[in-house]
Amino acid sequence: MVQTESGIVTGKVGNSQACFERYTDASKRACYFARIQACERGDTAITVSDLLAGLSVDEGTRAERVGFLKDNAFYLRWLSGLPPLPAQFRAQDMCEGECQADFDPEARRALAFAVLEADRDREYWIDSDHLLRGLLRFPNKAHFAVLKTEINLYSARTASRQDREEHLPEETPI
């Protein structure tokens, strides 16, 4: 760890589990599926496009309801430069130790913005809609793809707020 003049500490975090302790199961699964996307391409970096693809795998998540990700999955993958998903996506085919992909700088930035979005909502837990909104906070491939489906940051925030009123949060992680 190195401290800069402005007092910001930079460097890798020693315990990667601590980075995701505030994430709900849906958010952790999205990151897991993003990792699988990168590994299937033979890449060592998880991109924002992988994060978006990871968010669109599970049905019934806040991100899926807020961003209509299932309805637009093929279009979003095409726009963000990823190949289409196979007819049936099976994560269990992937061995845990096979791939050592890590988040690239843009994906890390999206994860940091997801934390800010959760804090903005005064929510401790970072849910999948916070990840989606983190992708929408700055220009990137995933941001461009989601904007093409007419979902922007403001509408995602509004839809998230409404979704929280209509759907109780899933079980809080421990």
Q: What is the pLDDT along the chain (174 residues), one digit of tens a residue?
A: 444 454 444 444 444 556 788 999 999 999 999 999 888 888 889 998 889 888 888 888 887 777 765 555 555 555 555 555 544 444 444 445 567 789 999 999 999 999 999 999 999 999 999 999 999 899 988 777 777 777 788 888 988 898 888 887 766 655
Classify residue 127 as exposed, middle or buried by CB count within 10 Å of its CB (0-12, 13-18, 19+). Answer: buried
Other C-beta atoms closer than 10 Å to the C-beta of 137 total 16
Q: What is the DSSP string of 15-70?
A: -HHHHTTTB-HHHHHHHHHHHHHHHHTT-SEE-HHHHHHHHTTSSS-HHHHHHTTT
Phi/psi for 12 (5° steps) reads -80, 145
Q: What is the pTM of this model?
A: 0.75
Check: CB of residue 126 under 8 Å from CB of residue 114: yes
Three-class SS of residue 81?
coil
For the chain, count helices (H), then strands (E): 9, 4
Structural domains of the chain sorted by starting position, each given as residue range(s) with its CATH number in brackets? 16-166 (1.10.1780.10)
